[in-house]
Amino acid sequence: MPPSAIPRVRVGRILPPAAVRAEVESVLIGPDRLRRRVAQLGAELTSEYSGRELVVVALLNGTVVFLADLIRCLPLPLRLDFLNVASYGSSTHSGTLRMDRELRLDVHGRHVLVVDDILDTGRTLRAVTTRLQQLNPASLKTCVLLDKPERRMESIQADHVGFVIPDAFVVGYGLDFDERHRNLPFVGVLKNPPIRTEG
Ligand code: XMP
């Protein structure tokens, strides 16, 4: 899909369920819209990888909900592996990235698709793709549910993007704040976002 056709989401006024209203300000992307867009991404990827076997490398932990929905829209032979990318800094500081978990699968000569929840400064995806490229895959592409281009620090773009979102700290559908809110069935804007410094 050309970048201009990727759905752009604006912060609106749809209130979340009362149970989370103290912490979540608004619903940014509701469950139906997520379902429809993930199915579209699945169709895009299915046609791109038709006739090829895929290794999906998902970044823990924020991708788990998106990943579970996405791979069920991929009627392709695929294998799944995980990477855990953590920051040496605090939760509000990007710090230095380190990979806590090595791949189990050999990706040499294979078609690799990296799946992440959100592309923000771009440091995570840059570090992961640089590392994976060194393993000589046959091809390496990236797919993110959300793209927050306003905060980009690395010049990197994902090959497949679910939604372009504004610069707001989002939770739900796998994304967390302090490990909470991952279970929300929608993507919402956090009421008191962490103060983030980069570098
Ligand atoms: P970078 O900056 O490396 O960030 O592109 C990617 C990782 O940062 C986390 N992140 C967020 N997590 N709400 C979250 O819950 C957000 O708005 C947000 N922005 C960045 C996330 O772990 C992502 O993989």
Could you read off the pLDDT of 73-89 as tens digits, one per residue? 999 999 999 999 876 55
Residue 147 known to be catalytic: no
Say how far apart CA 2 and CA 95 lie, in whole Å: 33
Q: Which two tokens stand for residue 189?
A: 């804007």
Pair 12, 168: CB distance under 8 Å = no
Say how far apart CA 42 and CA 124 lie, in whole Å: 23
pLDDT of residue 4: 85
pLDDT of residue 9: 97
- For the ranges 5-14, 107-116, 180-189, which has the lowest average pLDDT? 5-14
Confidence of residue 101 (pLDDT cuts 50, 70, 90): confident
Atom of ligand 1 nearest to the CA of 126: 3
pLDDT of residue 98: 76
Q: Which of 64, 96, 120 is the pocket-test mutation for ligand 1 (most atoms within 8 Å of CB)?
A: 120
Could you read off the pLDDT of 106-163 as tens digits, one per residue? 999 999 999 999 999 999 999 999 999 999 999 999 999 999 999 999 999 999 999 9
Chain Cα centroid distance, residue 190: 17
Give residues (CB < 6 A) around ligand 1. Answer: 59, 62, 116-125, 169-171, 175-177
Pair 89, 95: CB distance under 8 Å = yes
Residue 29: how many CA atoms within 13 Å on its side-chain side? 25
Q: Which of 59, 67, 175 is the pocket-test mutation for ligand 1 (most atoms within 8 Å of CB)?
A: 175
CA distances from 176 to 15, 88, 130 (A): 18, 18, 26
Phi, psi of 43 (to 5 degrees): -65, -40
CA distances from 188 to 18, 91, 107, 172 (A): 13, 19, 35, 6
pLDDT of residue 3: 82
How many whole angstroms from 117 Cα to the centroid of ligand 1?
A: 7
Could you read off the pLDDT of 33-76 as tens digits, one per residue? 999 999 999 999 999 999 999 999 999 999 999 999 999 999 99
Coil, helix or strand at residue 133: helix
How many whole angstroms from 139 Cα to the centroid of ligand 1?
A: 25
**Phi-psi domain of 13 (left: phi exceeds 0; alpha: psi -120 through 50; beta: other):** alpha
Residue nearest to atom 13 of ligand 1 (CA): 170
Residue nearest to atom 18 of ligand 1 (CA): 169
pLDDT of residue 198: 64
Pair 174, 144: CB distance under 8 Å = no
Atom of ligand 1 nearest to the CA of 59: 24
